[in-house]
């Protein structure tokens, strides 16, 4: 690892960046909690049955487009331009740019919806080529139902870009709660009546698909009043002749390809899983909701808060480079502090995590253990994925969209190649249970993430100077996480696994408290910052 330019104990975090990251993390946490509740209900009523396979395959398209637009393309192409205009006080120009981008996206999303509905039967080979017969037909139907929601999610992503640039982080990242609430209500109301047999389960996933469209509309509309309030100069026009609008569009294409490549990297796992044994697609879907949680909470929250701040840095090249190094240094260490214990939890305590969240009804102990192997595989590249996201944001803040694109393409090629071998060939070569094929997918994707991370880190060092995470610091975090896991494993041995929810409620807080206590004992600044915030909250009460 590259040594930091300050000692671990001397690091002084950026308060505004930390505050923004905390708001992003809080919004994401609420969204993910409701998403987990939604998936627990899906698991309870459907388990890994055929309708669940079709649903998880179909929903990957709206998830793909939402993640690509919301977390990638608009953030990287629109926010750097828009946030700089705001930082310069040019509010009239900023309103023009935001309005033009929103207008263009509204037109684009309408075209995407129409094409998606018409082309759905032909897109199944791109979604789940291993699906045939009734499973394939149901997946086509669900994709067609869900596609109107895709256009609404694209506009929701535009709202996120506007709000983030104005440092209104919480609402934009908490807005998916609206969609999840609609889907949860649908499952609670229709689930007990529609999940009695296979035919009824098909009806349930169709109703759930319609609920996702209603939820997409609600997710957009809860943001619009605040968008209008923070930027009263929004104007619905194309303004293609405006230089700033052209800059956004020029950056859009390479970022679209780059973020698309990153999303394809995750998408490839589901594509390959459709060729594996029955049940692989929903198990991968259940696992990805868990494995993406630390990436979203810690990687995305820090990166989302840092992007507008880094984009708004003004001054000479040396001044801007120094500011970027400072923000990267602080952000990288904060990410590592939270992601390392998440990786350890997936490896050592994964069955406790999965059992607490999902094990109920049709989601049996066998599915819990299978899903554990998948999230354990994802732990291989968890740290690389989250740290790499922040490095990529630094490039976007410098309005360089092509460098991250090159490395993202390397990652996706490796993900597909390694995933094919690990999932479809390696189990037979080693003579192991095919259930391990899904874990091979996530582990091989982690290896590819480390390659991308190394390339991004080296390129950033060449541009603004060396900045990274101290290897001794990361080693200390792993040691603290490993020691903290021991009491939780002891609780599992004493309590057994018959009551997974109770086991998780007891064991996981012990693990978390032990990790923070050890890090505080070692005087790590991130632990001190957390304890300081808790002390201030308690003091206010």
pLDDT at 494: 94
pLDDT at 6: 39
Token pair listed for 541: 């009460």
For all residues of the chain together, what is the average pLDDT?
82
The tokens 């009460």 sit on which residue?
541
- Report the candidate in 282, 353, 347 with the shortest Cα–Cα distance to residue 52: 282
430-487, pLDDT tens digit by residue? 888 878 888 888 898 899 999 999 999 999 999 888 888 888 999 999 999 999 999 9
Yes or no: say if 315 and 400 are a contact pair by the CB < 8 Å rule.
no
Q: Which residue pairs, CB below 8 angstroms and at least 24 apart, start in 356-359?
A: 356/500, 356/501, 356/503, 356/504, 356/505, 356/508, 357/36, 357/39, 357/40, 357/290, 357/504, 358/39, 358/40, 358/43, 358/286, 359/500, 359/501
The whole-number average pLDDT for the span 243-254 is 78
Q: 3-class SS at 389?
A: helix
Per-residue b or e along 49-73, where b marks 16 or more CB atoms closer than 10 Å to that residue's CB? bbbbbbbbbbbbbbbbbbbbbbbbb
- Report the candidate in 420, 396, 365 with the shortest Cα–Cα distance to residue 130: 420
- Report the candidate in 203, 202, 187, 195 with the shortest Cα–Cα distance to residue 39: 187
* β-bridge mates for residue 360, sequence order: 363
- Report the candidate in 360, 344, 333, 476 with the shortest Cα–Cα distance to residue 45: 360
Q: Residue 519 above 80 pLDDT?
A: yes
Quote the CA–CA distance of 417 and 120 in Å, as a whole number: 26
Yes or no: say if 215 and 182 are a contact pair by the CB < 8 Å rule.
yes
Lowest mean pLDDT among 389-403, 507-521, 523-537: 523-537
Model confidence band, residue 389 (pLDDT cutoffs 50, 70, 90) = confident
Quote the CA–CA distance of 296 and 529 in Å, as a whole number: 20
Token pair listed for 404: 């991250």
Q: Which of the listed ranges 236-245, 295-304, 370-379 does the model predict with the highest average pLDDT? A: 370-379
Token pair listed for 346: 């997936």
* β-bridge mates for residue 363, sequence order: 360
Lowest mean pLDDT among 133-142, 196-205, 341-350, 445-454: 196-205
For residues 1 and 158, the model is more confident at: 158
90-120, pLDDT tens digit by residue? 888 888 888 888 888 888 888 888 888 888 8
pLDDT at 176: 87
Helix 133-165 to helix 60-68 angle (10° resolution) is 20
Whether the CA torsion 528, 530, 534, 539 is positive or negative: it is positive
Quote the CA–CA distance of 464 and 394 in Å, as a whole number: 10
| Close Cβ partners of 134 (under 8 Å, ≥ 6 residues apart) | 50
256-274, pLDDT tens digit by residue? 665 655 566 666 777 677 7
pTM for the model stands at 0.70
pLDDT at 206: 93
- Percent of the chain exceeding pLDDT 90 equals 27
Write down the domain spans for the chain.
Answer: 8-540
Q: Residue 250 above 80 pLDDT?
A: no
pLDDT at 180: 92
pLDDT at 428: 81
The whole-number average pLDDT for the span 414-434 is 85
Model confidence band, residue 58 (pLDDT cutoffs 50, 70, 90) = confident
Yes or no: say if 73 and 252 are a contact pair by the CB < 8 Å rule.
yes
Lowest mean pLDDT among 18-27, 244-253, 287-296, 491-500: 18-27
pLDDT at 514: 94
């Amino acid at each position: 690892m590259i040594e930091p330019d300050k000692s671990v104990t001397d690091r002084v975090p950026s308060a505004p960046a930390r505050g923004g990251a905390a708001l992003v993390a809080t919004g994401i946490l609420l969204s993910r909690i409701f998403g987990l509740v939604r998936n627990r209900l899906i698991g309870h009523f459907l388990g890994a049955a055929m309708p669940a396979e079709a649903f998880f395959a179909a929903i990957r398209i709206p998830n793909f487009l939402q993640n690509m637009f919301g977390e990638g393309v608009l953030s990287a192409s629109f926010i750097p331009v828009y946030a700089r205009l705001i930082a310069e006080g040019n509010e009239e120009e900023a309103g023009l740019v935001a309005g033009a981008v929103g207008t263009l996206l509204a037109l684009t999303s309408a075209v995407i919806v129409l094409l998606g509905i018409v082309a759905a039967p032909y897109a199944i080979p791109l979604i789940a080529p291993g699906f045939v017969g009734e499973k394939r037909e149901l997946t086509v139907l669900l994709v067609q139902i869900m596609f109107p929601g895709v256009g609404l999610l694209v506009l929701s992503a535009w709202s996120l870009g506007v709000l983030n640039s104005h440092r209104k982080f919480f609402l934009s990242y908490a807005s998916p709660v609206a969609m999840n609430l609609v889907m949860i209500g649908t499952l609670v109301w229709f689930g007990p009546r529609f999940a009695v047999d296979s035919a009824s389960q098909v009806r349930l996933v169709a109703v759930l698909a319609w609920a996702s469209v209603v939820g997409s509309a609600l997710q957009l509309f809860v943001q619009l009043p605040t968008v209008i309030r923070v930027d009263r100069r929004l104007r619905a026009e194309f303004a293609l002749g405006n230089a700033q609008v052209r800059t956004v569009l020029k950056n859009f294409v390479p970022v679209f390809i780059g973020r698309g490549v990153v999303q394809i990297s995750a998408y490839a796992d589901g594509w390959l899983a459709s060729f594996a044994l029955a049940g692989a697609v929903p198990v991968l879907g259940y696992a990805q909701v868990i494995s993406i949680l630390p990436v979203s909470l810690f990687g995305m929250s820090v990166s989302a808060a840092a992007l507008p701040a880094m984009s708004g840095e003004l001054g000479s090249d040396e001044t801007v480079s120094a500011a970027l190094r400072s923000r990267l240094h602080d952000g990288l260490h904060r990410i590592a502090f939270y992601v390392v214990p998440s990786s350890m939890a997936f490896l050592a305590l994964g069955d406790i995590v999965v059992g607490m969240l999902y094990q109920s009804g049709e989601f049996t102990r066998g599915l819990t253990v299978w899903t554990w192997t998948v999230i354990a595989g994802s732990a291989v590249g968890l740290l690389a994925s989250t740290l790499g996201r922040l490095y990529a944001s630094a490039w976007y803040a410098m309005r360089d969209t092509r460098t991250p694109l090159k490395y993202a393409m390397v990652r996706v090629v490796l993900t597909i190649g390694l995933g094919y071998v690990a999932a479809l060939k390696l189990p037979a070569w080693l003579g192991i249970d095919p259930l391990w094929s899904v874990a091979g997918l996530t582990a091989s994707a982690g290896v590819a993430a480390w390659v991308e991370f190394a390339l991004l880190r080296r390129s950033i060092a060449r541009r603004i100077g060396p900045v990274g995470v101290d290897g001794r610091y990361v080693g200390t975090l792993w040691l603290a996480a490993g020691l903290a896991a021991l009491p939780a494993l002891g609780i599992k041995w004493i309590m057994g696994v018959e009551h997974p929810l109770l086991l998780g409620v007891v064991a996981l807080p012990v693990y978390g408290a032990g990790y923070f206590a050890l890090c505080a004992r070692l005087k790590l600044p991130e632990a001190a910052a957390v304890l300081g915030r808790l002390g201030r909250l308690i003091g206010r009460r």
